[in-house]
Amino acid sequence: MGIFSRKKVANKELELLLDGYELPSFPVIVLKVLSMLRDRSCDMSTVSGELALDPSLVVSVLKWLTPQLLA
């Protein structure tokens, strides 16, 4: 079975699993922040400024970060 055949099979299996449901896409802010984090010249104040634009994302980051800081 070639690589293209396996990809087609995987796509069919995914379509069957999803059964018409669509996966949510990342908010644009998440993609922007991820891009900023990959850029070594970007400082954390710029990243935090972007994060501040999405309150639910701030809560998610804090939920993940708090146990790490308290360990």
Q: What tens digit of pLDDT does each residue of 13-66 get?
A: 878 887 877 767 778 898 999 999 999 999 999 999 998 998 888 898 889 888
Maximal C-alpha separation, the chain: 50
pTM of the complete model? 0.54
SS3 45: helix
Neighbours of 47 (CB within 10 A): 16
Summarize the chain as % helix, strand, coil (round to 5).
70, 0, 30
Predicted pLDDT at 6 = 66
